[in-house]
């Protein structure tokens, strides 16, 4: 029992590692602030493309979505960061993470938006168009606000997944939270920094997960 | 007008006069709603021409959005925007299509809602309104754009019987104020009281038309006789 506490809950080691871990935590937050809005916007573009009246656009979108939902995000990240240099394109680990997350997240967020948009009856479009709003205005002011509200729990749930997936960036040596914690672990030969990192993830995500449960209950009622 | 190979409307040729209230009746599937939806091109007629207030709306390059805001439409299922208040529903096109500033749009919305007896509901959401109130708010939404003509697609069919009267009263007021109206409905008593002309449609064609007194009392075609007898009992 004592060994377990020593190995996983060693407060002194956590304190020692805290500067590097907190810096990693900052990088994780930064990464989230970049990849989540990018994914939400990319997903919206994917959803709109998947509902395009032009068949070629719809089909291309289906291929895009299928492809990037089927490829494991870690494989995609390694492919982008290790593969692009062979095409003489040199990018930073941060850029590699952003690109692979954009591809993966756009596919997932896109499917969520699409199901939301499809949940809105055609009567809403009839009413909007009959008052002279254009197709674009109808989407922006009538359909999307309702669609987003209908799929808000799914959007939040996917966002929680994205936050957790940012730890993949450690594989390409981007110094985010898990990377920093693992560095500290290998230097101290002690797993307590990992525990520290897990607690930080928990502090950020637990309120969001709580909110999600409440949202889901609210929609069920 | 056709869906694929199925022709829904054939040889529809009618003129609606200013301030006229034309009532369209007929069995379900007779094409009356499709006819109405062609009038603002929510449905695309395959051939033919539709002219509203001197402008051809079927012409190549016609500015549909400009034309549509002068053609008000009221739907069977109201189709209010559930995420906006009654006032917000009325104001959306005023703001985004006509580009009115917020304060002015609000004043117009207040006047339009007042006209349908809902002045006190401007900040209520659709789910806080009864069916009849929702339909009146939908009428206000169309009226606020000062349309030249109003199209009503079975405006009372989704309402509980006790709420039908309020909506019909609003429509009668509009008629009195000189609005041009085309109404698809089964409210025969309202047709007799308010319509200038009744059109009976069946199988995608106009079977006969005439003043309500004539058409109801003395229908010329067997199909009209059968239908009038059915709905009057």
Q: Write the ipTM.
A: 0.91
Pick among B34, B65, B153 to test the A interface (most A CBs inside 10 A): B65
Residues 6+ apart with CB under 8 A from B219: B200, B208, B225, B228
Mean pLDDT within B136-151: 96
- At B211 the pLDDT is 92
- At B31 the pLDDT is 87
Q: Which helix (H) or strand (E) holds B71?
A: strand B71-74
- Top pLDDT among B3 and B100 is at B100
Return d(Cα A166, Cα A100) in angstroms, integer: 11
Q: Are B67 and B118 in contact (CB under 8 A)?
A: no
Q: Are B127 and B49 in contact (CB under 8 A)?
A: no
Phi and psi at B182, nearest 5°, equal -120, 120
Chain B residues whose beta carbon lies within 8 Å of the beta carbon of residue A149: 83
- At A203 the pLDDT is 94
Six-digit token string for A128: 């909007």
- At B7 the pLDDT is 64
Cα dihedral sign for A86, A87, A92, A97?
negative
Q: Helices marked H in chain B — which ranges? A: 32-38, 64-68, 86-96, 102-115, 131-143, 161-176, 188-194, 212-217, 222-232
Q: Is the pLDDT of residue B118 over 80?
A: yes
The upper half-sphere exposure of residue B104, i.e. CA atoms within 13 Å in the direction of its Cβ, equals 9
B86 touches chain A (CB under 8 A): no
Return d(Cα A72, Cα A89) in angstroms, integer: 22
- At A218 the pLDDT is 81
Chain B residues whose beta carbon lies within 8 Å of the beta carbon of residue A129: 42, 68
- At B1 the pLDDT is 40
- At A96 the pLDDT is 94
Q: Helices marked H in B41-130 — which ranges? A: 64-68, 86-96, 102-115
Asked if the Cβ–Cβ distance from A131 to B81 is below 8 Å, we say no
Regions in chain A scoring below 50 on pLDDT: none
State the count of interchain CB pairs (< 8 A) between A and B: 60
Q: Are A101 and A165 in contact (CB under 8 A)?
A: yes
pLDDT tens readout for residues B24-41: 999 888 889 999 999 888
B62 touches chain A (CB under 8 A): no
Q: Is the pLDDT of residue B6 over 80?
A: no
Asked if the Cβ–Cβ distance from B83 to A129 is below 8 Å, we say no
Asked if the Cβ–Cβ distance from B83 to A133 is below 8 Å, we say no
- At B196 the pLDDT is 94
Asked if the Cβ–Cβ distance from B73 to A146 is below 8 Å, we say no
Asked if the Cβ–Cβ distance from A126 to B75 is below 8 Å, we say yes
- At B61 the pLDDT is 84
- At B4 the pLDDT is 45
- At A219 the pLDDT is 74
Return d(Cα A97, Cα A102) in angstroms, integer: 8
The pTM assigned to this predicted structure is: 0.88
């Amino acid at each position: 029992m004592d060994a377990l506490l020593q190995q996983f809950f060693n407060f002194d080691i956590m304190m020692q590692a805290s500067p590097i871990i907190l810096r990693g935590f900052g990088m994780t937050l930064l990464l989230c602030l970049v990849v989540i809005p990018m994914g939400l916007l990319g997903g919206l573009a994917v959803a709109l493309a998947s509902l395009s009246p032009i068949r070629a656009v719809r089909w291309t979108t289906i291929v895009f979505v299928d492809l990037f939902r089927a490829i494991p995000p870690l494989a995609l990240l390694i492919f982008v960061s290790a593969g692009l240099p062979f095409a003489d394109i040199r990018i930073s680990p941060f850029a590699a993470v952003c690109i692979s997350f954009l591809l993966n997240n756009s596919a997932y967020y896109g499917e969520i938006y699409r199901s939301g948009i499809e949940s809105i009856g055609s009567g809403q479009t009839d009413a909007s168009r009959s008052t002279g709003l254009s197709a674009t205005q109808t989407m922006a002011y009538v359909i999307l606000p309702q669609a987003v509200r209908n799929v808000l729990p799914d959007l939040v749930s996917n966002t929680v997944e994205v936050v957790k997936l940012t730890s993949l960036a450690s594989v390409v040596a981007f110094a985010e939270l898990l990377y920093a914690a693992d560095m500290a672990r290998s230097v101290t030969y002690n797993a307590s920094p990992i525990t520290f990192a897990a607690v930080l993830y928990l502090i950020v995500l637990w309120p969001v997960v709580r909110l999600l449960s409440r949202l889901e209950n609210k929609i069920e009622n | 007008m056709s869906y694929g190979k199925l022709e829904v409307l054939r040889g529809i040729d009618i003129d609606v006069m200013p301030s006229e209230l034309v009532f369209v009746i007929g069995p379900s599937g007779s094409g009356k709603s499709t006819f109405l939806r062609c009038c603002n091109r929510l449905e695309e007629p395959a051939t033919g021409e539709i002219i509203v207030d001197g402008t051809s709306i079927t012409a190549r390059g016609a500015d549909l959005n400009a034309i549509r805001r002068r053609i008000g439409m009221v739907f069977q299922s109201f189709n209010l925007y559930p995420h906006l208040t009654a006032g917000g529903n009325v104001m959306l096109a005023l703001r985004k299509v006509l580009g009115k500033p917020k304060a002015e749009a609000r004043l117009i919305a207040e006047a339009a809602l007042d006209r349908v007896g809902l002045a006190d509901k401007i900040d209520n959401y659709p789910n806080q309104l009864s069916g009849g109130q929702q339909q009146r708010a939908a009428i206000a939404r169309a009226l606020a754009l000062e349309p030249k003509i109003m199209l009503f697609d079975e405006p009372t069919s989704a309402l509980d019987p006790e709420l039908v009267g309020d909506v019909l009263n609003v429509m009668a007021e509009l008629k009195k104020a000189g609005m041009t109206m085309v109404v698809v409905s089964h409210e025969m008593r309202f047709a007799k009281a308010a319509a200038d002309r009744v059109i009976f449609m069946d199988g995608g064609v106009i079977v006969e038309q005439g003043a309500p007194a004539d058409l109801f009392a003395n229908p010329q075609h067997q199909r009209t006789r059968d239908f009038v007898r059915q709905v009057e009992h």
